[in-house]
Amino acid sequence: MGERLEKVAEGEIPLVAAKGEEIPRYKQLDSTNRLLILKALCELRAHQDDTVSYINDALKEGNQISSFHKDKIGGDGNGTSYWYDGNKTIGYRLYRELNIYPSKRNSKGKGCLTPPAISSQWETLATNLDEFRKVVDELSGSKVVAEVDVSKTIETDAIPVLEKLQKNKDRALKQKQRQEMLLNYFTKPLAAGITRSCRTRRPVSYTFENWAPHSWKSKKALQLPEYPDPDELGSVLNTLEAFPPIVFASEARKLEERLAQATFGEAFLLQGGDCAESFKEFNANNIRDSFRVLLQMGIVLTYGAQIPIIKVLSLGFCF
């Protein structure tokens, strides 16, 4: 780095090896010396073999090297230019370049062939969506036509990209907050209360490997009536087994996936229905009314929670 620094500045190198204390000493330097050191590092990096190889390969493939190139989106024709660069990983930035020309009084005469030195000043105008919108509002009201054109370019090219990026960030933040809330719910001990959600949870002891189509018969049924004729009961069960399934396997798997989303806070489960309706109450009107109420509740929850609502309606327990 010392050789590079000698090419861009004069005098001694302001930063030397200090056994891990280089960064604190660098921060204590004045802005001019820090800028010179950064310039030397950039020149050193640009001449290294891997950087040169990357640039050459990218140029051969026709890719845009955004890390080394800024797009000029306009200027006022009087030395002020606007530049735009970035990507979704490092973010997007808007710069203003101001070229300062020397006054004619400083010229050495008509016979001087040396072109006047031009100094450039760079200013970062925007680094986020709100700042980009503020620049658009300022330039759109300018009396300079070129600046109005710059505002239109920013509004059509940059603002939609930044809005999409901001939506993705907000969505990721909400998802992280929901996951943290769910994690806190399961890790914190339940407080004493009288709600049903505060009941002692029973440990889960079953596995899917133990399931079989007829495994339900091994479970104790507490709310089923006793049928006096087992032969007739067997005949009815055989008839029902021959019918097509009311719920298909794909629907069950889809519901299982959506319930998994609810456990991570990415969805909300809304379940309703009667625990054990009678045959008299099981009719088309009750089914329609229950379905309508569940849908109305789902609409309200969707608007309030801003997450998908899983609607489950329990019917036909009398069977």
Binding residues for Mn(2+): 275
Q: How far apart are CA 28 and CA 26, in angstroms?
A: 5
Q: Answer yes or no: are the C-beta atoms of 290 and 283 closer than 8 Å.
A: no
Q: Answer yes or no: are the C-beta atoms of 102 and 123 closer than 8 Å.
A: no
Q: Residue count of the chain, please give it.
A: 319
Which pair of structure tokens corresponds to residue 27?
């921060």
Interhelix angle 129-140/145-153, rounded to 10 degrees, is 150
Q: What residues form DSSP beta bridges with 85?
A: 93
Which pair of structure tokens corresponds to residue 215?
């495994």
Going by the annotation, the residues of the binding site are 275
Helix locations, the chain, DSSP H:
2-8, 22-28, 31-46, 49-61, 129-140, 145-153, 159-187, 230-241, 249-263, 284-305
Nearest to 291 by CA among 272, 309, 307: 272
Nearest to 95 by CA among 36, 154, 145, 40: 154
CA dihedral angle for residue 8, residue 9, residue 10, residue 15, rounded to 10 degrees: -120
- 101 Cβ contact list (under 8 Å, min separation 6): 79, 116, 118
